[in-house]
Amino acid sequence: MGDFFMEQHKKYMLRCIQLASNGLGNTYPNPIVGSVIVNNNKIIGEGYHTKAGTNHAEINAINSVKDKSLLKESTLYVNLEPCSHFGKTPPCSVKIAELKIPKVVIGTIDTTEKVSGKGIKIMQNAGIEVISGVLNNECRKINKRFFTFHEKKRPYIILKWAQTSDGFIDILRNETTEQKPKWISGPTERTLVHKWRANEQAIMVGKNTVIFDNPELTTRNWYGKNPLRIIIDNNLQLVKNLNVFNTSAKTAVINSITHKQVSNTISLIKVSSKNSIYEQIFSFLYNSEIQSIIIEGGQKLLQSFIDNNLWDEARVFVGHNFFYQGIKAPELKKSNLTRKQKFCKSTLLFFENNSII
């Protein structure tokens, strides 16, 4: 393939990725997918997957083409291999074959058992020229939650915390200390965190964080669905008037005592101390089709995930203030700083660990 054609393919694949990102947080358990249809180097149709159970990106792109006769001489671009099985919607690969679209350019293969090359084969058997692997890494990265879930059988794990310039995550507190947290970051950062929560399916904190901060763990400052709240409370010591037990979102309490559905929004999930608590939590999340989780604290919980190398990325706000003493922030022993973002009261650092690429 000539350099000119590859550059053209990359240009349109970048548009697919851009479109796909519009669905982040709304398509679970499906991946995020964007598609464009090109005729004579001009985009004549485009679309993205908006929600599970609705049309996939390829169908939305096809439906947006005004002159359907052009489809037989056009190229369809999509960041993920078109599906090959019947779910809530018919298989896209079959529809593409029926419409006799002559060329399909794919960003990356769908490695799930239901697809994994089957969509490509359907289209090739119909005489369609299929090109795959265009911006493969970028296309896998945008669906890092989907690929991690299916390939590693666990959710994509995001660690998040704020620390002072001198490396403290909190002041020294006990149960008699005033519960309001001493903020390290500002209101802009807190709004961003709520946006992150809307993009992920679950959020986890430990018992002490609930006791000291009484967080709600919702997306109240941003539009979007509240994540499943997961609380580690081994001996079920938390009182039920805390914010994490309100009806704003569902809450699962990981404990060693009982397994019980307490109400429509509260469930108790029993784990055994004889086995790895992480494997048991991941098994629960995997069976619940939870593809992503944010670990928000406290320090011991965050550090335990780091020490067991069970994280994919970390987002750390480093405030401009100092505590001089208190609870030390978690330490990333293995990390790759990817970028920084500056705010008035802090600098946000992004780290990567277990790459799915």
Residues annotated as catalytic are 58
Instruction: Write a three-state SS string for the chain.
Output: CCHHHHHHHHHHHHHHHHHHHHHCCCCCCCCCCEEEEEECCEEEEEEECCCCCCCCHHHHHHHHCCCHHHHHHCEEEEEECCCCCCCCCCCHHHHHHHCCCCEEEEEECCCCCCCCCHHHHHHHHCCCEEEECCCHHHHHHHCHHHHHHHHHCCCEEEEEEEECCCCEEECCCCCCCCCCCCCCCCHHHHHHHHHHHHHCCEEEEEHHHHHHHCCCCCCCCCCCCCCEEEEECCCCCCCCCCHHHCCCCCEEEEECCCCEECCCCEEEEECCCCCCHHHHHHHHHHHCCCCEEEEEECHHHHHHHHHCCCCCEEEEEEECCCCCCCEECCCCCCCEEEEEEECCCEEEEEEECCCCC
